[in-house]
Chains A and B, each alone.
Chain A
Amino acid sequence: MFPRLFTPLTIKNATLPNRIIATGHLTHFASTDGLVTQRMIDYHEARARGGIGMIITESMAVHPTTAQSQYVVHLYDDKVLPGLTELVSRIKQYGTVVVCQLHHMGREMISVDTMRPIVAPSPIMDPMKREVPHELSRAEIKEMVESYAAAAERAVKAGYDGLEVHCAHGYLIQQFLSPLSNQRDDEYGGSFENRLRFAREVIAAVKAVAGDRFVGIRIDGDEFADGGLTMEDVQQIILALNADGLDYIGLSVGHCLNYPTIFPNMDFPLGCFTYLASNIKRLVDTPVYTSHRINDPALAEKILEDGHADMVAMTRATIADPELPIKAKEERIDDIRPCVACLQRCFGRLRMRAPISCLGNPAVGREREFAITPATNPKKVAVVGGGPGGMEAARVLSQRGHKVVLYEKEQELGGMLKLGSSVPNREELFNIARWQIIQLQQSNVEIKTGYEATLNDLRAGAYDAVVFATGAEYGEPSVVFTENVPHINLKQALELADDQVENKNILVIDRDYHNKALGIAEQLAEREAASVVVLSSEVDVALDMESINKMMAYERLNELEVKCLSKAKVERVNGKDFIVSHEGWEVVLPDIDLVVVVDKPKVNTMLAKQVEQELPQLKTYLVGNCASPRLTPDAIFDGYRIALEV
């Protein structure tokens, strides 16, 4: 089915069994002393076992002046060698090629973890991190080049097949390349040749110690910043570096001025940056990889078939499902757990300085404890509720050999996610539920849809255990400012008829702090409400929403002219005019027709409580929103965890 995807590729002395690769991604599985942990080894081993062609391990610090967080590997110190050697040899067991990403962040970081001044080619503040860097002296540059080489040497010792010099994402090397961040007047700045010098020296130094290992780069194909490097500029850079000799070229995008592009969420069309690789591929014979939003083997195959690249990065796709390569090879396409580009648990958790996981795959980073093992004594289990939590519980329970009956009162499975994926640009979220549904249909779970479970069912079913995944519900709005204007909850807002929306002035109160207020606001604006205002008492509307999704949503809301008021409070209402205080100012929102109060939903534990009283001998578990109202990944995580416990 995928002939080109499963054609081996030889880079120097290493042969990739197929063209699927994972680009470097920080996992936060390293210890605070910068060492490789068992967790990191297990994580990568699972991916290698899944049949991936090449793994580029996470960006590792080449110098003590760089750290994204406390949990990065200190490649600048020999102490990492034992762990690193173990990591590499475990990955290689499966024939997977393994590459080390040599990394320095330059100014695109804060000094909280290193507690040293951050460094850069020029003392220009990073627009995102807002710290002014120390301008590297020529001696320090020399030292930096040497530390890249020393780090590379350690990677070679650890057994890596290849080395990747990280020239992308606005980090140190790109800071030298780009006129936006490099304003030096010595031989490292100014002309094209001078800006290129640092990259050249680093790559040459790395190649000098690489021996028979291959050396490639990852670079942004376009800076997407006015005054910065355009695609054409980058092509000249790549051609120059390639003329010095490169074994592969990886194309990427994103840096401080367009951060979301590094981690494209579901707003970005699939494969939207492949053109960058394609345009380089025309110019060089060196193998090229493309990345970003490639989550389907059919798309990957098409990219190879159309000649746009030699390797296809499916990074988050293989976070979400480490077995993607094997499943694709065996043509089990429907079994591939999709990455929905939500960023909630991978990048989202990095931002919270926590180790990564995945919305749909709770076993990420817990490969050992969350291995699905057959139950020692199979039970008969009822799962009540067919949302993401209940479906996950049912799926894993049945895989473990339990006999499962799944009750869902609505006609279709999917739970609240049906609503969750109905707001603009969240459609893809439902793909995870779709995958669960297909898995359940293939399993021997007895699925009862359109069937509301009652105490009697649970009593009569001779169950050994019941898993409640009955979710949460939206009740009366938690606040009503005036009787003059109707107030409705989120669910009601999602069910409004056109004439209730069109040409109406709508106020959305954010008391959920996640994406829902923005989601409904955008939907109402798209449906041609006259005006939509989102109001939050916090410093930001959607305060707790994952940051990239939030940035993208703000942009779309801006275009739709939805206004957001943070740190705001409704003081009083005159007729239909809302008077709002906002950081000491008073703002009047005139002639409001409708208020949507987006609350946290209330747990639906009615049946669980009944069972507790009436059937005390029955073992019960709570999963997802009915335990505590949270988000989809929490529900899936609960379901998986409970299924292992039963």
Chain B
Amino acid sequence: MEQNKLWVVAENVDEGLREASFEVLTEVARLASRRGDQIMVLFCSAPDADVNKIGVELASYGADALLPLEVVPNSSRCVGGAIADLAKECRPDAIFIAETIWGHDVAAWVAAKLRTTLLSNCVELGLGPDQELTVTRHVYSDTVAVKYASLGEQTMVITIQPGLFNVKKAFPGKTINLLERHAAQAQNPDPVQVLGFIKADPRTVDIVDAERLVVGGKGMGTAENYKLIHEVAEILGAAVGGTRVARDNGWVTLDRQIGQTGKTVAPELLISCGVSGAIQHTMGLKETKCLVAINTDKHAPIHKLADLSIVDDAPRVLKEFIAKIKTG
């Protein structure tokens, strides 16, 4: 572990690791290859996780070693504590974490336990004239950039803003040193108890965060018809979005416009009603998992992207759908 000077703490999500963790890893790997450093990835693994498979993937992004952690309980405080203990022992140059909610909390605990500062939400990593690590943070609402360089005596704790760095498998075929699972039992169990989870209200959630969306375009025809979009959204627990035309017509507000000059969404399900599928709109749909298109025009470009194409009058389809649900 000692030869790994750069640590990346990866964050779990249901299907694997978070995209933002790969962004961090790609960027750190770029620096490491210039410095000749080794990277160790740490992640909280479930006992049944296929660490080999995860290792192979992480290696292709540039990781040299993988350390699965098993922390009980796995609150951010205990995870941070376990990482800080390891860091005291191995003295890495820096620990990188994506600035997500979990990432920030873990990083703060690590920094607090190491009694060092936290370089949070960094936007740029680099190397100084003597190959020392440099990081840049934006302060004063993104107007001023401050750059720091490591003096190398202490471990730096750095979180990195998601959504900036492209992910890239720059090291296809690279192999990884899979380390033995590290189990840590916190001495003082975290007294904070998690009791439950409350899902966001789809009516108010930011469409960027919405898991389901119903989107209307010019083909909905009237504001009156647009209410059907809201009704269907209500039924499916979805949020409402719109095209620019829908926004221009005042059917949705700007914060619900999807596309190049609006937002990029990443729902599991998106039902697109009376939308032609102009590229400026569909650029915002890239991350959509499952797309249903309802459009009278069989040749509308949106149909080419859809998992289900319904060539039909959108207001009518929605009306009948609502009726079917209501009558059971």
Chain A interface residues (CB < 8 Å from chain B): 269-271, 279, 282, 298-299, 302, 424, 498, 523, 526-527
- Report which of A279, A282, A299, A498 forms a contact with B261, defined as CB distance below 8 A: A299
Q: How far is the CB of A279 from chain B (nearest CB, A)?
A: 7
* Structural contact, A298 and B279, CB atoms closer than 8 A: no
> C-beta contact mask, B192-204 vs A, less than 8 Å → 1, else 0?
0000000000000
Looking across the interface, which residue of chain B has its beta carbon closest to that of A272?
A: B279
Give the chain B neighbours of A498 by CB distance below 8 A.
Answer: 298
Tell me whether A302 and B298 are in contact (CB under 8 A).
no
* Contact status A302-B299, CB under 8 Å: no
The contact of A270 among B166, B280, B298, by CB within 8 Å, is: B280
Interface residues on chain B, number (Cβ under 8 Å): 9
Contacts of B299 in A (CB 8 A): 424, 523, 526-527
Q: Is B283 an interface residue (CB 8 A)?
A: yes
Q: Is the CB of B298 within 8 A of A269?
A: no
Residue of B nearest to A422 (CB): B299
Is B260 interfacial (CB-CB < 8 Å)?
yes
Chain A contacts for B260, CB-based, 8 A:
270-271, 299, 302
- A282 contacts which chain B residues (CB < 8 A)? 165
Q: Map CB proximity to A onto B229-252 as digits: 1 under 8 Å, 0 otherwise.
A: 000000000000000000000000
Contact B298 A298, beta carbon cutoff 8 Å: no
Shortest Cβ gap from A338 to chain B (Å)? 13
20 contacts between A and B (CB under 8 A): A269-B279, A269-B283, A270-B260, A270-B279, A270-B280, A271-B260, A279-B166, A282-B165, A298-B261, A299-B260, A299-B261, A299-B280, A302-B260, A302-B261, A424-B299, A498-B298, A523-B299, A526-B299, A527-B298, A527-B299
Closest to B311 in A: A498
Least CB distance, B40 to chain A, in whole angstroms: 25
How far does the alpha carbon of A299 sit from the alpha carbon of B299 in the complex, in Å? 26
Q: Report the bound CA distance from A269 to B278 in whole Å.
A: 10
Interface string of B157-179 (1 = CB under 8 A from A): 00000000110000000000000
CB contacts (< 8 Å) of B280 on chain A: these are: 270, 299
Bound complex: CA A298 to CA B279 (Å): 15
Residues of A close to B261: CB separation below 8 A: 298-299, 302
Chain B interfacial positions (CB closer than 8 Å to A): 165-166, 260-261, 279-280, 283, 298-299
Interface centre among A282, A299, A527 (most CB of B within 10 A): A282
The chain B residue with its CB closest to the CB of A232 is B170
A302 to B279, CA, bound (A): 15
The 7 closest A-B pairs by CB, nearest first: A269-B279, A298-B261, A302-B261, A299-B260, A526-B299, A270-B279, A270-B280
Classify the secondary structure of B's interface with A: loop
Residues on B with C-beta less than 8 A from A279 are 166
Give the docked Cα–Cα distance between A270 and B279 (Å). 8
Bound: A301/B17 CA distance, A: 33
Give the CA-CA distance A271 to B283 in the complex, in Å: 11
Chain B residues contacting A527 (CB-CB under 8 Å) are 298-299
Q: Which residues of A contact B283 (CB under 8 A)?
A: 269
Please indicate the chain B residues that have their CB under 8 angstroms from the CB of A271 in the complex.
Answer: 260
Q: CA separation between A527 and B280, bound complex, in Å?
A: 24
The interface residues of chain A lying within 8 Å CB-to-CB of B279 are 269-270
Give the nearest-CB partner of B280 in chain A.
A270
- Nearest Cβ on chain A to B100's Cβ, whole angstroms: 20
Instruction: Knowing that A270-B280, A527-B298 touch, tell me 16 more A-B residue pairs with CB under 8 angstroms.
Output: A269-B279, A269-B283, A270-B260, A270-B279, A271-B260, A279-B166, A282-B165, A298-B261, A299-B261, A299-B280, A302-B260, A302-B261, A424-B299, A498-B298, A523-B299, A527-B299
How far is the CB of B127 from the nearest CB of chain A, in Å? 12
Q: How far is the CA of A498 from the CA of B296 in the complex (A)?
A: 13
Q: Which residues of A contact B298 (CB under 8 A)?
A: 498, 527
Docked CA distance A269–B280 (Å): 8
Q: Which residues of chain A come closer than 8 Å to B165, judged between CB atoms?
A: 282
Q: Tell me the bound Cα distance from A305 to B166 in angstroms.
A: 17
A302 / chain B contacts, CB cutoff of 8 Å = 260-261
Q: How far is the CA of A279 from the CA of B279 in the complex (A)?
A: 22
Chain B residues near A270 (CB-CB < 8 A): 260, 279-280
- A299 proximity list for chain B (CB < 8 A): 260-261, 280
Question: Taking the nearest CB of chain A, how far is it from the CB of B23, in angstroms?
Answer: 12
Residue of B nearest to A279 (CB): B166
- Chain A nearest CB from B173 CB (Å) reads 16
Residue of B nearest to A523 (CB): B299
Q: Give Cα A424 to B304, complex, Å.
A: 13
A312 to B21 CA separation, bound complex (whole angstroms): 31
Tell me which residues across on chain B come within 8 A of A526, comparing CB atoms: 299
- Given the complex, which residues of B lie within 8 Å of A298, measured CB to CB? 261
CB distance from B14 to the nearest CB of A (A): 29
Distance from B243 Cβ to chain A, minimum over Cβ atoms (Å): 14
Q: Who on chain B is nearest to A298 by CB?
A: B261
Instruction: Give the Cβ gap from A163 to chain B, nearest Cβ, in Å.
Output: 30
Max chain A Cβ within 10 angstroms of own Cβ: one of B166, B260, B298? B260
The chain B residue with its CB closest to the CB of A424 is B299
Q: How far is the CB of B265 from chain A (nearest CB, A)?
A: 16
Quote the shortest CB–CB distance from B301 to chain A (angstroms).
8
Whose C-beta in chain B lies nearest to the C-beta of A307? B164
> In the complex, A81→B56 CA distance in Å?
63
> B residues within 8 A CB of A523?
299
Name the distance in Å between A34's Cβ and chain B's nearest Cβ. Answer: 41
CB-CB < 8 A to A424: which residues of B?
A: 299
Cα(A498)–Cα(B279), bound, Å: 25
A271 to B298, CA, bound (A): 27
Closest to B165 in A: A282
- A217–B221 Cα distance when bound, in Å, is 50
* B325 CB to nearest chain A CB (Å): 30
Measured between C-beta atoms, what is the minimum distance from B247 to chain A in Å? 13
Shortest distance between the CB of A437 and any CB in chain B (Å): 16
Of all chain A residues, the one with the shortest Cβ separation from B301 is A427
CB distance from A71 to the nearest CB of B (A): 35
Q: Give Cα A271 to B261, complex, Å.
A: 12
CB distance from A402 to the nearest CB of B (A): 32
- CA distance in complex: A298, B283 (Å): 15
A171–B198 CA distance with the chains assembled, in angstroms: 61
In the bound complex, CA of A474 to CA of B261 (Å): 41
Residue of A nearest to B170 (CB): A232
Q: How far is A302 from B262 in the complex, measured between Cα atoms in Å?
A: 10
In the assembled complex, the CB of A268 is this many whole angstroms from the nearest CB of chain B, namely: 9
Give the distance in Å from the alpha carbon of A330 to the alpha carbon of B323 in the complex.
Answer: 49
Residue of A nearest to B27 (CB): A282
A526 to B166: give the CA distance in the assembly, Å.
Answer: 35
User: In angstroms, how far is the closest chain B Cβ from the Cβ of A266?
Assistant: 10
Of all chain A residues, the one with the shortest Cβ separation from B126 is A283
Tell me, in angstroms, the Cα distance from A523 to B298 when the chains sit together. 12
Which chain B residue lies CB-closest to A278?
A: B166
CB closest residue in chain B, given A528:
B298
With CB as the reference atom, state the residue of chain B lying closest to A282: B165
Which A residue sits closest to B278, measured CB to CB?
A427
Give A381 to B113 CA distance when docked, in angstroms: 84
B152 to chain A, nearest CB (A): 24
How near does chain A come to B169, taking the closest CB pair, in angstroms?
Answer: 12
The chain A residue with its CB closest to the CB of B279 is A269
Give complex CA distance A298, B298 in Å: 30
A383 CB to nearest chain B CB (Å): 29
Shortest distance from the beta carbon of B149 to any chain A beta carbon, whole Å: 16
